[in-house]
Amino acid sequence: MMLTSCLPMRLKLRILLLKNRLFPKIKVGRSSEQHIWFFLAADYGNLGDVAITKAQHEYLQVKFHGAKVVEIPISQTINLLYPIKKVVKPTDIVTVVGGGNMGDLYDDIEFLRQQVIKLFPENRIISFPQTFYFTETSFGRKRLHEAVSVYSKHRSLLLLARDSRSYDLMRSHFFKNEIKLAPDIVLSLAYKSNVDRKRIALLCLRDDKERGALNVSNLESLKSYLKSNYDSIEHTDTQIDDMLIKRDGGDKYLDLLLDKFSSASLIVTDRLHGMIFAFITRTPALVFDNSNGKISSTYPWIKDCGFIHLVNEDTDFHTLRFTDNFANTKAALDFEFQKMI
């Protein structure tokens, strides 16, 4: 067993960063054109994060037309941080992936974000829409203190919050930085259906540390309702094997999942991007909150669409009605994205 396998995660990452600083494996060529560096891009099997990466890349290409957008996969961040630092220009913009990883729940990603912020003190940095989630534990408070220390020292850091709760918490703790409220970037994606809709209820449910309000009891009640109203019940997930993404890229599998959502008559999910995929495919959905409130906090952005309902164990599913106000809701979202940065 290697010695590093016994070390705390952050210490291991620091050792790897130092090793790559002293003995870089990769060289990055210099260029006169403006670059938009996109750090922590998803190259693993969470299709919600793959969708964030795709949407953020497309947004940056439109917003900074003429500049070169360069993705740095999260698995290559340690290898590429210092080589990029050697060639970055003052006019380059650094961006960090959006999502739900600002906090101590995904501490390795939070650590890498902080390294990006520390290593590019003279560049404009934009952290795309995030959920703020530092736990009320001694570990969480320690990590929040470290984040405040790093973020507050950067003179041109824009932190985007994807829900009002995160916005208020960021303003409270990161008061030296610029904070804005903006929707999850995946809500900017355009989707055109190529499949026929069937009378299928599609369940997209988590089985991890973020599982929340949906338990065995209310799941059985829900299944009874679904069996009486739909021809069949199928299951899917936003999580696939990491190796498929590394081998084929993420777009292929994201497109397949969106088509699967679009072919269903109802989505039942407790995944944030399960809810968002239902919205962009215009598929009716019943949505349960997750453990850290990401879904209920994000839901206000799309609550007026008429075909997605946030439900709980007390909901009488038979009383729910589905309408379609997608166009107006999407127009309001597009306006928010236009003014985001």
Q: For 44-83, how does the pLDDT look when each residue is reduced to its tens digit (9 = 90+)?
A: 999 999 999 999 999 999 999 999 999 999 999 999 999 9
Average of per-residue pLDDT across 250-274:
96
* Angle formed at CA 338 by CA 334 and CA 340, multiple of 5 degrees: 110
**Considering the domain boundaries, does residue 311 fall inside one?**
yes
**Cβ count within 10 A of residue 151:** 21
CATH number for the domain harbouring residue 151: 3.40.50.2000
| DSSP-derived 3-state class of residue 180 | strand
Look at residue 193 and tell me if it is in a domain. Answer: no
pLDDT of residue 1: 37
What's the whole-number average pLDDT of the chain? Answer: 92
CATH of the domain at 245: 3.40.50
- Tokens representing residue 306 in the block: 């008429």
Residue 3 has pLDDT above 50, yes or no: no
Average pLDDT over residues 179-197: 95
Sign of CA dihedral 52, 53, 58, 64: positive
Q: From CA 171, how far away is CA 51, in angstroms rounded?
A: 27
Structurally, the chain folds into a number of domains equal to 2
pLDDT of the residue at 215: 64
Query: Does residue 194 lie in a domain region?
Result: no
Tens of pLDDT, residues 277-295: 999 999 999 999 987 788 9
Q: Which domain holds residue 314?
A: 200-335
Task: Convert the pLDDT of each residue in 154-173 to its tens digit.
Answer: 999 999 999 999 999 999 99
